Protein backbone atom coordinates (compact mmCIF):
# COMPACT_ATOMS: atom_id res chain seq x y z
CA UNK A 1 0.00 0.00 0.00
CA UNK A 2 2.78 2.43 -0.88
CA UNK A 3 1.40 5.89 -1.51
CA UNK A 4 2.21 5.99 -5.23
CA UNK A 5 0.64 2.61 -5.92
CA UNK A 6 -2.38 3.50 -3.81
CA UNK A 7 -2.97 6.67 -5.79
CA UNK A 8 -2.97 4.77 -9.09
CA UNK A 9 -5.41 2.21 -7.78
CA UNK A 10 -7.84 4.84 -6.46
CA UNK A 11 -7.72 6.63 -9.81
CA UNK A 12 -9.11 3.55 -11.54
CA UNK A 13 -12.42 4.02 -9.73
CA UNK A 14 -13.16 7.18 -11.74
CA UNK A 15 -13.57 5.18 -14.95
CA UNK A 16 -16.96 5.09 -16.68
CA UNK A 17 -16.21 1.45 -17.60
CA UNK A 18 -17.68 -1.05 -15.11
CA UNK A 19 -14.99 -3.67 -15.80
CA UNK A 20 -12.20 -1.14 -15.17
CA UNK A 21 -13.83 -0.04 -11.90
CA UNK A 22 -14.23 -3.68 -10.80
CA UNK A 23 -10.57 -4.41 -11.52
CA UNK A 24 -9.43 -1.31 -9.63
CA UNK A 25 -11.62 -2.13 -6.64
CA UNK A 26 -10.41 -5.76 -6.59
CA UNK A 27 -6.82 -4.51 -6.39
CA UNK A 28 -7.73 -2.05 -3.61
CA UNK A 29 -9.64 -4.74 -1.71
CA UNK A 30 -6.73 -7.20 -1.88
CA UNK A 31 -4.23 -4.58 -0.66
CA UNK A 32 -6.50 -3.42 2.19
CA UNK A 33 -7.32 -6.94 3.36
CA UNK A 34 -3.63 -7.97 3.21
CA UNK A 35 -2.70 -5.03 5.42
CA UNK A 36 -5.59 -5.75 7.82
CA UNK A 37 -4.62 -9.45 8.06
CA UNK A 38 -1.01 -8.48 8.81
CA UNK A 39 -2.11 -6.18 11.65
CA UNK A 40 -4.55 -8.77 13.06
CA UNK A 41 -2.09 -11.71 12.90
CA UNK A 42 0.70 -9.61 14.43
CA UNK A 43 -1.53 -8.74 17.38
CA UNK A 44 -2.61 -12.37 17.80
CA UNK A 45 1.03 -13.58 17.82
CA UNK A 46 1.84 -11.13 20.60
CA UNK A 47 -1.29 -12.07 22.56
CA UNK A 48 -2.62 -8.54 22.25
CA UNK A 49 -6.11 -7.32 21.39
CA UNK A 50 -6.43 -6.32 17.73
CA UNK A 51 -5.24 -2.71 17.44
CA UNK A 52 -6.91 0.08 15.53
CA UNK A 53 -6.12 0.54 11.85
CA UNK A 54 -2.65 2.03 11.31
CA UNK A 55 0.10 2.50 8.71
CA UNK A 56 -2.23 4.07 6.14
CA UNK A 57 -5.00 1.53 6.65
CA UNK A 58 -7.18 4.03 8.50
CA UNK A 59 -7.10 6.48 5.57
CA UNK A 60 -7.93 3.66 3.14
CA UNK A 61 -10.88 2.54 5.27
CA UNK A 62 -12.17 6.11 5.50
CA UNK A 63 -11.96 6.37 1.71
CA UNK A 64 -13.87 3.11 1.32
CA UNK A 65 -16.51 4.37 3.75
CA UNK A 66 -16.92 7.48 1.58
CA UNK A 67 -17.23 5.31 -1.55
CA UNK A 68 -19.83 3.08 0.12
CA UNK A 69 -22.00 6.11 0.90
CA UNK A 70 -21.22 8.66 -1.82
CA UNK A 71 -20.24 6.90 -5.05
CA UNK A 72 -22.82 7.26 -7.87
CA UNK A 73 -21.96 3.77 -9.19
CA UNK A 74 -23.87 1.00 -7.32
CA UNK A 75 -21.16 -1.61 -8.04
CA UNK A 76 -18.53 0.52 -6.28
CA UNK A 77 -20.81 1.18 -3.28
CA UNK A 78 -21.53 -2.55 -2.84
CA UNK A 79 -17.92 -3.71 -3.22
CA UNK A 80 -16.65 -1.00 -0.86
CA UNK A 81 -19.11 -2.21 1.79
CA UNK A 82 -17.96 -5.80 1.25
CA UNK A 83 -14.29 -4.83 1.75
CA UNK A 84 -15.17 -2.97 4.96
CA UNK A 85 -17.09 -6.00 6.22
CA UNK A 86 -14.08 -8.20 5.49
CA UNK A 87 -11.84 -5.93 7.55
CA UNK A 88 -14.38 -5.89 10.38
CA UNK A 89 -14.48 -9.71 10.45
CA UNK A 90 -10.76 -9.65 11.21
CA UNK A 91 -11.59 -7.77 14.39
CA UNK A 92 -10.36 -4.39 13.20
CA UNK A 93 -12.68 -1.51 13.90
CA UNK A 94 -13.97 0.25 10.79
CA UNK A 95 -14.99 3.92 10.64
CA UNK A 96 -18.52 5.30 10.69
CA UNK A 97 -19.76 8.68 9.44
CA UNK A 98 -19.86 11.45 12.03
CA UNK A 99 -22.29 13.79 10.32
CA UNK A 100 -25.85 13.50 9.14
CA UNK A 101 -25.79 14.34 5.47
CA UNK A 102 -24.00 16.89 3.28
CA UNK A 103 -25.23 19.94 5.23
CA UNK A 104 -25.45 20.83 8.91
CA UNK A 105 -28.35 23.19 8.09
CA UNK A 106 -30.51 20.90 5.94
CA UNK A 107 -31.94 17.60 7.28
CA UNK A 108 -30.46 14.66 5.39
CA UNK A 109 -33.88 13.33 4.44
CA UNK A 110 -34.54 16.58 2.53
CA UNK A 111 -31.40 16.28 0.39
CA UNK A 112 -30.95 14.13 -2.71
CA UNK A 113 -29.98 10.61 -1.62
CA UNK A 114 -27.15 8.97 -3.58
CA UNK A 115 -28.64 5.99 -5.42
CA UNK A 116 -32.11 7.55 -5.55
CA UNK A 117 -31.36 10.38 -8.00
CA UNK A 118 -33.10 10.72 -11.37
CA UNK A 119 -31.31 10.20 -14.70
CA UNK A 120 -30.28 13.85 -15.11
CA UNK A 121 -28.84 14.04 -11.62
CA UNK A 122 -27.11 10.67 -12.02
CA UNK A 123 -25.30 11.98 -15.10
CA UNK A 124 -24.15 15.03 -13.12
CA UNK A 125 -23.06 12.84 -10.21
CA UNK A 126 -21.10 10.53 -12.54
CA UNK A 127 -19.39 13.49 -14.23
CA UNK A 128 -18.49 15.02 -10.87
CA UNK A 129 -17.12 11.72 -9.58
CA UNK A 130 -15.09 11.15 -12.75
CA UNK A 131 -13.59 14.66 -12.56
CA UNK A 132 -12.95 14.89 -8.82
CA UNK A 133 -12.64 11.26 -7.73
CA UNK A 134 -15.44 11.90 -5.24
CA UNK A 135 -19.02 13.11 -5.01
CA UNK A 136 -18.48 15.99 -2.63
CA UNK A 137 -20.98 17.58 -0.26
CA UNK A 138 -21.01 20.85 -2.21
CA UNK A 139 -22.28 18.92 -5.24
CA UNK A 140 -24.90 17.10 -3.14
CA UNK A 141 -26.33 20.44 -1.97
CA UNK A 142 -25.99 22.30 -5.29
CA UNK A 143 -27.86 19.50 -7.07
CA UNK A 144 -31.10 21.08 -5.82
CA UNK A 145 -30.47 23.17 -8.97
CA UNK A 146 -29.12 20.82 -11.68
CA UNK A 147 -28.89 23.46 -14.41
CA UNK A 148 -26.59 25.59 -12.28
CA UNK A 149 -24.59 22.61 -11.00
CA UNK A 150 -23.81 21.50 -14.54
CA UNK A 151 -22.41 24.95 -15.39
CA UNK A 152 -20.52 25.16 -12.08
CA UNK A 153 -18.86 21.73 -12.52
CA UNK A 154 -17.92 22.50 -16.13
CA UNK A 155 -16.30 25.81 -15.13
CA UNK A 156 -14.47 24.35 -12.12
CA UNK A 157 -13.20 21.41 -14.17
CA UNK A 158 -11.83 23.79 -16.81
CA UNK A 159 -10.12 26.00 -14.21
CA UNK A 160 -8.47 23.09 -12.39
CA UNK A 161 -7.80 20.41 -14.97
CA UNK A 162 -7.90 21.64 -18.57
CA UNK A 163 -5.10 23.36 -20.50
CA UNK A 164 -4.36 26.79 -19.07
CA UNK A 165 -1.55 29.23 -18.22
CA UNK A 166 -0.86 27.81 -14.72
CA UNK A 167 0.55 24.37 -13.83
CA UNK A 168 -1.86 22.04 -11.98
CA UNK A 169 -0.17 22.22 -8.57
CA UNK A 170 -0.21 26.05 -8.69
CA UNK A 171 -3.97 25.96 -9.33
CA UNK A 172 -4.68 23.87 -6.23
CA UNK A 173 -2.28 25.90 -4.09
CA UNK A 174 -4.04 29.12 -5.14
CA UNK A 175 -7.34 27.41 -4.18
CA UNK A 176 -5.84 26.69 -0.74
CA UNK A 177 -4.67 30.32 -0.38
CA UNK A 178 -8.11 31.66 -1.32
CA UNK A 179 -10.14 29.30 0.92
CA UNK A 180 -7.78 29.92 3.84
CA UNK A 181 -8.56 33.66 3.80
CA UNK A 182 -11.98 32.70 5.17
CA UNK A 183 -10.63 29.88 7.36
CA UNK A 184 -12.55 27.41 5.22
CA UNK A 185 -10.91 24.16 6.35
CA UNK A 186 -13.40 22.16 4.24
CA UNK A 187 -12.00 23.53 0.96
CA UNK A 188 -8.43 23.72 2.25
CA UNK A 189 -8.46 20.01 3.13
CA UNK A 190 -9.84 19.00 -0.28
CA UNK A 191 -7.22 21.01 -2.15
CA UNK A 192 -4.34 19.90 0.05
CA UNK A 193 -5.17 16.34 -1.06
CA UNK A 194 -5.49 17.42 -4.70
CA UNK A 195 -2.27 19.47 -4.53
CA UNK A 196 -0.31 16.42 -3.32
CA UNK A 197 -2.07 14.17 -5.83
CA UNK A 198 -0.81 16.24 -8.80
CA UNK A 199 2.76 16.25 -7.49
CA UNK A 200 2.82 19.40 -5.35
CA UNK A 201 5.73 19.82 -2.92
CA UNK A 202 4.53 18.93 0.62
CA UNK A 203 6.91 21.56 2.06
CA UNK A 204 4.74 24.32 0.59
CA UNK A 205 1.95 23.19 2.92
CA UNK A 206 4.00 24.13 5.98
CA UNK A 207 3.22 27.77 5.30
CA UNK A 208 3.05 30.36 2.52
CA UNK A 209 6.64 31.37 3.30
CA UNK A 210 7.72 27.91 2.04
CA UNK A 211 6.03 28.37 -1.35
CA UNK A 212 7.82 30.00 -4.31
CA UNK A 213 8.20 33.78 -4.13
CA UNK A 214 5.89 34.11 -7.14
CA UNK A 215 2.99 32.62 -5.14
CA UNK A 216 3.93 34.60 -2.03
CA UNK A 217 3.66 37.77 -4.12
CA UNK A 218 0.03 36.86 -4.86
CA UNK A 219 -0.81 37.12 -1.14
CA UNK A 220 -1.53 40.86 -1.22
CA UNK A 221 -3.98 40.56 -4.12
CA UNK A 222 -5.59 37.53 -2.44
CA UNK A 223 -6.36 39.40 0.78
CA UNK A 224 -7.65 42.52 -0.96
CA UNK A 225 -9.89 40.54 -3.31
CA UNK A 226 -11.30 38.55 -0.40
CA UNK A 227 -11.95 41.44 1.97
CA UNK A 228 -11.58 44.89 0.34
CA UNK A 229 -11.55 44.57 -3.46
CA UNK A 230 -12.30 48.28 -3.92
CA UNK A 231 -8.69 49.03 -2.86
CA UNK A 232 -7.13 47.22 -5.85
CA UNK A 233 -5.29 49.59 -8.21
CA UNK A 234 -3.27 49.25 -11.40
CA UNK A 235 -0.13 49.66 -9.24
CA UNK A 236 -0.91 46.35 -7.51
CA UNK A 237 -1.19 44.71 -10.93
CA UNK A 238 2.04 46.32 -12.13
CA UNK A 239 3.88 45.00 -9.07
CA UNK A 240 2.93 41.40 -9.95
CA UNK A 241 3.69 41.72 -13.66
CA UNK A 242 7.05 43.49 -13.37
CA UNK A 243 8.79 41.59 -10.56
CA UNK A 244 11.72 40.38 -12.65
CA UNK A 245 12.31 36.63 -12.20
CA UNK A 246 9.14 36.09 -10.14
CA UNK A 247 6.82 38.03 -12.42
CA UNK A 248 3.43 36.85 -13.63
CA UNK A 249 2.32 36.96 -17.25
CA UNK A 250 -1.03 38.61 -17.97
CA UNK A 251 -2.55 35.24 -18.88
CA UNK A 252 -1.26 33.64 -15.66
CA UNK A 253 -2.60 36.53 -13.61
CA UNK A 254 -6.07 36.28 -15.17
CA UNK A 255 -6.09 32.53 -14.38
CA UNK A 256 -5.01 33.25 -10.79
CA UNK A 257 -7.61 36.02 -10.32
CA UNK A 258 -10.43 33.76 -11.57
CA UNK A 259 -9.28 30.97 -9.22
CA UNK A 260 -9.04 33.33 -6.22
CA UNK A 261 -12.52 34.77 -6.82
CA UNK A 262 -13.94 31.29 -7.47
CA UNK A 263 -12.72 29.96 -4.13
CA UNK A 264 -13.55 33.08 -2.12
CA UNK A 265 -17.14 32.78 -3.32
CA UNK A 266 -17.20 28.99 -2.91
CA UNK A 267 -16.14 29.52 0.72
CA UNK A 268 -19.25 31.71 1.03
CA UNK A 269 -21.40 28.86 -0.30
CA UNK A 270 -19.69 26.33 1.99
CA UNK A 271 -20.42 28.35 5.13
CA UNK A 272 -23.75 29.74 3.89
CA UNK A 273 -25.20 26.25 3.37
CA UNK A 274 -23.47 24.69 6.39
CA UNK A 275 -21.54 22.14 4.29
CA UNK A 276 -20.38 19.19 6.43
CA UNK A 277 -16.83 17.76 6.33
CA UNK A 278 -16.36 15.05 3.71
CA UNK A 279 -16.80 11.54 5.14
CA UNK A 280 -13.16 10.60 4.48
CA UNK A 281 -11.72 13.92 5.76
CA UNK A 282 -10.97 15.05 9.29
CA UNK A 283 -14.23 15.58 11.18
CA UNK A 284 -16.22 13.43 8.76
CA UNK A 285 -15.75 10.01 10.39
CA UNK A 286 -14.75 8.34 13.62
CA UNK A 287 -13.40 4.93 14.63
CA UNK A 288 -15.15 5.17 18.00
CA UNK A 289 -18.10 2.81 18.47
CA UNK A 290 -21.53 4.42 18.79
CA UNK A 291 -22.91 4.62 22.30
CA UNK A 292 -26.42 3.51 23.27
CA UNK A 293 -27.77 7.02 22.78
CA UNK A 294 -26.01 7.21 19.39
CA UNK A 295 -23.36 9.64 20.56
CA UNK A 296 -20.84 9.69 23.36
CA UNK A 297 -19.32 12.32 25.62
CA UNK A 298 -16.34 12.78 23.27
CA UNK A 299 -18.76 13.73 20.48
CA UNK A 300 -20.29 16.40 22.72
CA UNK A 301 -16.91 17.93 23.54
CA UNK A 302 -16.22 18.11 19.81
CA UNK A 303 -19.41 20.07 19.19
CA UNK A 304 -21.56 17.21 17.89
CA UNK A 305 -24.89 16.87 19.66
CA UNK A 306 -26.74 14.29 17.63
CA UNK A 307 -29.26 14.56 14.83
CA UNK A 308 -32.28 15.27 16.99
CA UNK A 309 -30.78 18.40 18.46
CA UNK A 310 -29.33 19.66 15.18
CA UNK A 311 -32.61 19.39 13.29
CA UNK A 312 -35.07 19.86 16.13
CA UNK A 313 -37.48 21.80 13.93
CA UNK A 314 -37.58 23.40 10.49
CA UNK A 315 -36.91 26.76 12.11
CA UNK A 316 -34.08 25.43 14.27
CA UNK A 317 -33.70 27.52 17.39
CA UNK A 318 -36.05 30.24 16.14
CA UNK A 319 -39.52 29.09 17.16
CA UNK A 320 -42.20 30.69 15.02
CA UNK A 321 -45.79 29.88 14.26
CA UNK A 322 -46.63 28.66 10.76
CA UNK A 323 -49.27 31.41 10.53
CA UNK A 324 -46.63 34.06 11.19
CA UNK A 325 -44.34 32.58 8.52
CA UNK A 326 -47.15 32.41 5.97
CA UNK A 327 -47.89 36.07 6.71
CA UNK A 328 -44.23 36.89 5.95
CA UNK A 329 -44.51 35.30 2.51
CA UNK A 330 -47.84 37.02 1.78
CA UNK A 331 -46.43 40.38 2.90
CA UNK A 332 -43.38 39.98 0.66
CA UNK A 333 -45.53 39.12 -2.34
CA UNK A 334 -47.79 42.12 -1.65
CA UNK A 335 -44.73 44.43 -1.54
CA UNK A 336 -43.53 43.05 -4.88
CA UNK A 337 -46.97 43.76 -6.37
CA UNK A 338 -47.03 47.31 -4.98
CA UNK A 339 -43.52 48.07 -6.21
CA UNK A 340 -44.43 46.86 -9.68
CA UNK A 341 -47.48 49.17 -9.69
CA UNK A 342 -45.33 52.10 -8.55
CA UNK A 343 -42.83 51.35 -11.32
CA UNK A 344 -45.63 51.47 -13.87
CA UNK A 345 -46.99 54.75 -12.53
CA UNK A 346 -43.86 56.85 -11.98
CA UNK A 347 -40.10 56.69 -12.33
CA UNK A 348 -37.71 58.41 -9.89
CA UNK A 349 -35.29 61.03 -11.24
CA UNK A 350 -31.59 60.21 -11.74
CA UNK A 351 -30.72 62.44 -8.77
CA UNK A 352 -33.19 60.60 -6.53
CA UNK A 353 -31.89 57.21 -7.74
CA UNK A 354 -28.31 58.27 -6.91
CA UNK A 355 -29.39 59.45 -3.46
CA UNK A 356 -31.16 56.16 -2.75
CA UNK A 357 -28.04 54.20 -3.76
CA UNK A 358 -25.80 56.23 -1.42
CA UNK A 359 -28.33 55.80 1.39
CA UNK A 360 -28.47 52.02 0.88
CA UNK A 361 -24.68 51.77 0.65
CA UNK A 362 -24.35 53.77 3.89
CA UNK A 363 -27.01 51.71 5.67
CA UNK A 364 -25.38 48.44 4.59
CA UNK A 365 -22.38 49.37 6.74
CA UNK A 366 -24.51 49.14 9.86
CA UNK A 367 -26.00 45.75 9.06
CA UNK A 368 -24.32 43.32 11.41
CA UNK A 369 -25.32 40.34 13.48
CA UNK A 370 -25.58 40.29 17.25
CA UNK A 371 -23.40 37.18 16.93
CA UNK A 372 -20.77 39.14 14.99
CA UNK A 373 -17.44 38.81 16.72
CA UNK A 374 -13.82 38.48 15.74
CA UNK A 375 -12.87 34.88 15.14
CA UNK A 376 -9.19 34.00 15.25
CA UNK A 377 -7.94 31.96 12.32
CA UNK A 378 -6.79 28.54 13.39
CA UNK A 379 -3.09 27.94 12.88
CA UNK A 380 -3.84 24.93 10.72
CA UNK A 381 -5.48 27.10 8.06
CA UNK A 382 -3.91 30.53 8.69
CA UNK A 383 -0.43 29.32 7.74
CA UNK A 384 -1.62 29.35 4.12
CA UNK A 385 -1.90 33.14 4.04
CA UNK A 386 -0.24 36.23 5.48
CA UNK A 387 -1.59 39.08 7.60
CA UNK A 388 -4.28 37.14 9.47
CA UNK A 389 -5.64 40.34 11.03
CA UNK A 390 -6.66 41.72 7.62
CA UNK A 391 -10.41 41.26 7.15
CA UNK A 392 -13.55 42.87 5.74
CA UNK A 393 -14.00 46.56 6.46
CA UNK A 394 -16.96 48.67 5.41
CA UNK A 395 -16.20 51.44 2.95
CA UNK A 396 -16.57 54.63 4.83
CA UNK A 397 -15.41 53.55 8.28
CA UNK A 398 -12.88 55.94 9.82
CA UNK A 399 -13.68 58.58 7.20
CA UNK A 400 -12.24 56.55 4.31
CA UNK A 401 -14.11 57.32 1.09
CA UNK A 402 -14.26 54.90 -1.82
CA UNK A 403 -15.69 56.26 -5.08
CA UNK A 404 -18.80 54.53 -6.36
CA UNK A 405 -18.08 51.94 -9.07
CA UNK A 406 -20.52 52.70 -11.89
CA UNK A 407 -21.40 49.65 -13.96
CA UNK A 408 -22.13 51.99 -16.86
CA UNK A 409 -18.38 52.82 -16.93
CA UNK A 410 -17.02 49.28 -16.52
CA UNK A 411 -19.20 46.18 -16.68
CA UNK A 412 -18.72 42.45 -16.96
CA UNK A 413 -20.73 42.26 -20.20
CA UNK A 414 -18.93 45.11 -22.04
CA UNK A 415 -15.42 44.92 -20.60
CA UNK A 416 -14.60 42.06 -18.18
CA UNK A 417 -15.93 39.24 -20.33
CA UNK A 418 -13.84 40.10 -23.40
CA UNK A 419 -10.67 40.68 -21.34
CA UNK A 420 -10.91 37.25 -19.67
CA UNK A 421 -11.77 35.50 -22.92
CA UNK A 422 -8.85 37.14 -24.73
CA UNK A 423 -6.22 36.15 -22.15
CA UNK A 424 -7.71 32.82 -20.99
CA UNK A 425 -9.78 31.49 -23.93
CA UNK A 426 -13.24 30.00 -23.21
CA UNK A 427 -13.22 30.96 -19.52
CA UNK A 428 -15.03 34.25 -20.13
CA UNK A 429 -17.77 32.28 -21.89
CA UNK A 430 -18.00 29.72 -19.06
CA UNK A 431 -18.20 32.41 -16.38
CA UNK A 432 -20.75 34.40 -18.38
CA UNK A 433 -22.97 31.35 -18.70
CA UNK A 434 -22.70 30.65 -14.96
CA UNK A 435 -23.53 34.26 -14.03
CA UNK A 436 -26.57 34.25 -16.31
CA UNK A 437 -27.89 30.91 -15.04
CA UNK A 438 -27.63 32.04 -11.40
CA UNK A 439 -29.20 35.44 -12.08
CA UNK A 440 -32.07 34.14 -14.24
CA UNK A 441 -32.75 30.82 -12.49
CA UNK A 442 -36.39 30.58 -11.45
CA UNK A 443 -39.09 27.98 -10.92
CA UNK A 444 -41.75 30.72 -10.55
CA UNK A 445 -42.43 29.67 -6.97
CA UNK A 446 -42.22 31.36 -3.57
CA UNK A 447 -42.66 28.97 -0.65
CA UNK A 448 -46.12 27.44 -1.21
CA UNK A 449 -47.08 29.82 -4.04
CA UNK A 450 -46.76 28.97 -7.74
CA UNK A 451 -46.71 31.07 -10.94
CA UNK A 452 -44.86 33.93 -9.25
CA UNK A 453 -42.53 36.30 -11.14
CA UNK A 454 -39.50 36.46 -8.81
CA UNK A 455 -37.29 38.62 -11.07
CA UNK A 456 -37.74 41.71 -8.87
CA UNK A 457 -36.64 39.81 -5.76
CA UNK A 458 -33.66 38.19 -7.48
CA UNK A 459 -32.51 41.55 -8.82
CA UNK A 460 -32.82 43.14 -5.37
CA UNK A 461 -30.60 40.43 -3.83
CA UNK A 462 -27.97 40.71 -6.60
CA UNK A 463 -27.91 44.51 -6.54
CA UNK A 464 -27.78 44.65 -2.73
CA UNK A 465 -24.62 42.54 -2.76
CA UNK A 466 -23.05 44.76 -5.41
CA UNK A 467 -24.16 47.82 -3.43
CA UNK A 468 -22.22 46.51 -0.41
CA UNK A 469 -19.16 46.53 -2.70
CA UNK A 470 -19.91 50.09 -3.90
CA UNK A 471 -21.12 48.96 -7.33
CA UNK A 472 -24.02 50.98 -8.72
CA UNK A 473 -26.49 50.36 -11.57
CA UNK A 474 -27.81 53.73 -12.78
CA UNK A 475 -31.11 52.23 -13.93
CA UNK A 476 -32.00 50.58 -10.61
CA UNK A 477 -34.10 52.10 -7.84
CA UNK A 478 -32.29 51.11 -4.64
CA UNK A 479 -35.35 52.08 -2.61
CA UNK A 480 -36.74 48.64 -3.57
CA UNK A 481 -34.09 46.83 -1.51
CA UNK A 482 -35.42 48.04 1.84
CA UNK A 483 -38.92 47.07 0.77
CA UNK A 484 -38.01 43.50 -0.18
CA UNK A 485 -35.13 42.46 2.10
CA UNK A 486 -35.81 42.51 5.84
CA UNK A 487 -33.10 42.93 8.45
CA UNK A 488 -32.56 39.22 9.23
CA UNK A 489 -32.14 38.52 5.52
CA UNK A 490 -29.67 41.40 5.14
CA UNK A 491 -27.66 40.10 8.11
CA UNK A 492 -27.48 36.67 6.48
CA UNK A 493 -26.50 38.09 3.08
CA UNK A 494 -23.79 40.37 4.46
CA UNK A 495 -22.34 37.66 6.70
CA UNK A 496 -22.23 35.01 3.96
CA UNK A 497 -20.73 37.42 1.43
CA UNK A 498 -18.30 39.41 3.59
CA UNK A 499 -17.41 37.23 6.61
CA UNK A 500 -18.74 33.76 5.71
CA UNK A 501 -16.81 32.04 8.51
CA UNK A 502 -19.18 33.75 10.99
CA UNK A 503 -22.36 32.29 9.45
CA UNK A 504 -24.49 30.31 11.93
CA UNK A 505 -27.44 27.97 11.65
CA UNK A 506 -29.50 30.53 13.55
CA UNK A 507 -28.89 33.08 10.76
CA UNK A 508 -29.82 30.51 8.11
CA UNK A 509 -33.00 29.56 9.96
CA UNK A 510 -34.08 33.13 10.72
CA UNK A 511 -34.65 34.38 7.17
CA UNK A 512 -37.49 33.27 4.87
CA UNK A 513 -38.75 30.80 7.46
CA UNK A 514 -41.52 29.36 5.32
CA UNK A 515 -39.37 28.83 2.25
CA UNK A 516 -37.98 25.48 1.09
CA UNK A 517 -34.34 24.57 1.67
CA UNK A 518 -33.91 24.47 -2.12
CA UNK A 519 -34.96 28.14 -2.23
CA UNK A 520 -32.40 29.06 0.44
CA UNK A 521 -29.73 27.22 -1.56
CA UNK A 522 -30.94 29.22 -4.59
CA UNK A 523 -30.29 32.41 -2.58
CA UNK A 524 -26.76 31.16 -1.90
CA UNK A 525 -26.15 30.68 -5.62
CA UNK A 526 -27.06 34.34 -6.15
CA UNK A 527 -24.72 35.36 -3.31
CA UNK A 528 -21.86 33.26 -4.72
CA UNK A 529 -22.10 34.61 -8.26
CA UNK A 530 -22.78 38.24 -7.31
CA UNK A 531 -19.79 38.20 -4.98
CA UNK A 532 -17.53 36.58 -7.58
CA UNK A 533 -18.56 39.10 -10.23
CA UNK A 534 -18.00 42.03 -7.85
CA UNK A 535 -14.46 40.86 -7.03
CA UNK A 536 -13.74 40.24 -10.71
CA UNK A 537 -14.96 43.70 -11.73
CA UNK A 538 -12.50 45.43 -9.40
CA UNK A 539 -9.56 43.19 -10.39
CA UNK A 540 -10.28 43.31 -14.13
CA UNK A 541 -10.76 47.08 -14.11
CA UNK A 542 -7.33 47.45 -12.48
CA UNK A 543 -5.80 45.12 -15.11
CA UNK A 544 -7.49 47.10 -17.91
CA UNK A 545 -6.12 50.36 -16.50
CA UNK A 546 -2.64 48.83 -16.32
CA UNK A 547 -2.90 47.71 -19.95
CA UNK A 548 -3.98 51.15 -21.14
**Helix 219-227 vs helix 250-272: angle between axes, to the nearest 10 degrees?**
40
Torsion of CA 170, 174, 177, 182, to 10 degrees: -160
Q: What share of the chain is helix, strand, coil (3-state, %, to 5)?
A: 65, 5, 35
| Residue 226 burial (10 A CB sphere; 0-12, 13-18, 19+) | buried
Cα-Cα end-to-end distance for the chain: 55
DSSP H helices in 365-406: 379-382
Longest CA–CA span in the chain (Å) reads 89
Q: Quote the radius of gyration of the chain (alpha carbons, Å).
A: 25
What is the full DSSP assignment across 177-201? HHHHTTT-HHHHHHHHHHHHHTT--
Q: How far is CA 367 from CA 13, 487, 498, in A?
A: 48, 8, 11
Q: What gap in Å lies between CA 362 and CA 333, rounded to an integer?
A: 26
Q: For residue 204, give the DSSP letter.
A: G
Q: Considering 71, 184, 467, 498, which one is annotated as catalytic?
A: 184
298 tagged catalytic: no
Q: What gap in Å lies between CA 380 and CA 118, rounded to an integer?
A: 39
Q: What gap in Å lies between CA 407 and CA 379, rounded to an integer?
A: 39
Q: Beta-strand (E) ranges in 364-425?
A: 405-406
Q: What gap in Å lies between CA 170 and CA 217, rounded to an integer?
A: 13
Bridge partners of residue 406, in order along the sequence? 472
Q: What gap in Å lies between CA 104 and CA 108, rounded to an integer?
A: 9
Q: What gap in Å lies between CA 136 and CA 2, rounded to an integer?
A: 25
Q: Beta-strand (E) ranges in 132-256?
A: none
Non-local (6+) Cβ contacts of 363 within 8 A are 482
Q: For residue 89, give the DSSP letter.
A: H
C-beta of residue 539 within 8 angstroms of C-beta of residue 269: no
**Planar angle of CA 216, 500, 157, nearest 5 degrees:** 60
Torsion of CA 63, 65, 69, 70, to 10 degrees: 0
C-beta of residue 224 within 8 angstroms of C-beta of residue 421: no
Just list the catalytic residues.
184
Amino acid sequence: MEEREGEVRWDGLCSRDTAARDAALDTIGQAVLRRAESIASGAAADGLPVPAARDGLGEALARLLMLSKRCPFPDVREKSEAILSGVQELGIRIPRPLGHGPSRFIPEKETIQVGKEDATMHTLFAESFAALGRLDNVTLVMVFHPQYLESFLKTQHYLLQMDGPLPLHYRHYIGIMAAARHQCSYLVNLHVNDFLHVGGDPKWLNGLENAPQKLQNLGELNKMLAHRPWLITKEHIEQLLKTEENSWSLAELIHAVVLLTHYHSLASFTFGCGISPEIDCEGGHTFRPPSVSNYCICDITNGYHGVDEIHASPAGSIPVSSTESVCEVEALMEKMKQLQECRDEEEASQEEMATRFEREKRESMFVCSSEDEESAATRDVSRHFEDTSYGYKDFSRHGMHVPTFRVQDYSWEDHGYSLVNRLYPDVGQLLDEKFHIAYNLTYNTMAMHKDVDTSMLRRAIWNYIHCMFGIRYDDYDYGEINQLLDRSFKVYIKTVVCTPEKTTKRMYDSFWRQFEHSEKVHVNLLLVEARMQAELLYALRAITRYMT
